[in-house]
Structure 1
Amino acid sequence: MLKEFADLSTPVVADACLRVGVGLRAAPVGVAAVTAGARVAGRVLPVRHYGSVDVFLEAYGAARDGDVLVIDNGGRTDEACIGDLAVLEARAAGVAGIVVWGLHRDTPELREIGLPVFSYGALPLGPVRLDGREPEALVSARVGPHLVGTDDVVCADADGVVFVPAGRLEEVLAAAEGIARTERSQAERIAAGDTLRRQTAFDEYLERRAADPAYSFRQHLRRVGGAIEE
């Protein structure tokens, strides 16, 4: 899956979701890569954290090669829920990366391990609580306002983290590849002196909008075959 995502980006995937009518789901602002340039894509392996690492070890038992562990720690900023040992064990289980709605620790060790990890940031404090476990602990995970599970795919890079229903993945990737090709072509033409305004017939758009205020730039782009905002 990472190979299919290799030439794409999360902004293009998000635009593709909008293009094909898939609901937009992204991790909250601030969830970012521990190591600059890290990127990952794979099936969501969901887990909810309650204060103990045992739930991660249990989740690893169900991991398939290439899965991405998505940890729901409620977005807490008072504790780090994963560190080097949990990440090393994830790699040993075939997990391709980790997305945390929360914090991590052992930053130098995580960078040395090299497994892509995305979180709100680092904190030296580990959990001191032990909450009651829910039946959905290994079934679904919440990341911000979004609930994700094994029927979802996650893509993460320098721009953030996006979730896509696995059943719509081929459709989204096909749209994303088309958008990426168009944007690359437009960028090359801009660099060569052909402005984006000329490429998108922007003057024509302004004329049509003046005659029809409901005519949107997005409609216009679809008509002329451009791409910039979906």
Structure 2
Amino acid sequence: MDTRELQRLYADLTTPHVADAITRLGLPVRHAPAGVRPLWTGSHIVGPARPARHFGSVDVFLEAVEHARPGDVLVVDNGGRDDEACVGDLVALEVQRAQLAGIVIWGLHRDSRELRDIRLPVFSQGALPVGPQRVDAQEPDALTRARCGHATVTGEDVVLGDDDGVLFFPADRASDIAGTATAIRDTERAQATRMRLGETLREQTRFTDYLAVRDKEGITFRRHLRALGGAVEE
């Protein structure tokens, strides 16, 4: 699937919609740590992952950009370090000029004011003024595989990020995931509309009936919701 099609499919999908879809499809839910946040609210990125593991020098990022395609998302693995910032304004400008969609950092950034002026979507664990004081040996797979918390990310993955965080999922399932997420989104929106018109969530989900059946048969609320077509949780 090309980048434009990804952007079209996911333009109006949030990470919660997509996370629920991934769960419903029985796929592993891979996400960045909760501390990886957008620099400003309203950020939304989607695109193929472009991994880059940092070893103390920006050349790995330049090399990643050299091989990237417009619309890719640079996924920076700095091991979640809190003693150095690994991405600043010059890297962000280079990424922007190459028409990448944004940057996700398992680590820290600096040059916060400049990054906000550049307005390239950047997700990071936080800011620190101190840059790297080291240059380690670059590993052979530094440009093909990155870690972001417990998640391993490769070029076969899609990155989706917004105010709730960042998800990673297989590119070859992107269409299925988007279709399921769209159905969940539409169901939730319909439920919210009904609530605004006066019908409570308990009424919509037949919660009294559920309590009676739960006590007799021991079914879960998720199973009950799926039988009704509800979308409160997965």
- TM-score, normalised to structure 1's length? 0.98
Cα distance per residue 1:81-108 (max 9 Å; x no partner): 0000000000111211000000000011
Q: How many angstroms apart in 1 are the aligned matches of 2:133 and 2:221?
A: 52
Q: How many angstroms apart in 2 are the aligned matches of 1:160 and 1:79?
A: 22
Q: Return the offset for 1:3.
A: 3.1
The match for 2:228 is 224
Q: List aligned pairs for 1:73-222, cutoff 5 A.
A: 73-213=78-218, 215-222=219-226
Identity of aligned residues (%): 55
CA contact (8 A) 1:52 1:130 kept: yes
Q: Return the offset for 1:8.
A: 1.0
**Residue 53 (str. 1) matches residue 50 (str. 2):** no
The match for 2:31 is 26
CA contact (8 A) 1:47 1:140 kept: yes
Runs (5+) with no aligned partner, structure 2: 1-5
Cα distance per residue 1:59-117 (max 9 Å; x no partner): 00111110000000000011000000000000111211000000000011101111100
Please tell me the residue identity of whatever aligns with 2:133. V
Q: Return the offset for 1:4.
A: 2.0
| Alignment partner of 2:20 out of 15, 36, 43 | 15
Cα distance per residue 1:89-148 (max 9 Å; x no partner): 001112110000000000111011111000001100000011111111001100001111
The match for 1:64 is 69
Runs (5+) with no aligned partner, structure 1: none
Once superposed, what is the RMSD of the aligned Cα atoms? 0.7
Classify the secondary structure of the residue corresponding to 1:210. Answer: helix
Q: Return the offset for 1:179.
A: 0.1
Q: Return the offset for 1:39.
A: 1.1
**Residue 6 (str. 1) matches residue 11 (str. 2):** yes
Please tell me the residue identity of whatever aligns with 1:206. L
Q: How many angstroms apart in 2 are the aligned matches of 1:163 and 1:205?
A: 34
| Length, aligned pairs only | 229
Q: How many angstroms apart in 2 are the aligned matches of 1:136 and 1:198?
A: 54
- TM-score, normalised to structure 2's length? 0.96
Q: How many angstroms apart in 1 are the aligned matches of 2:45 and 2:9?
A: 11
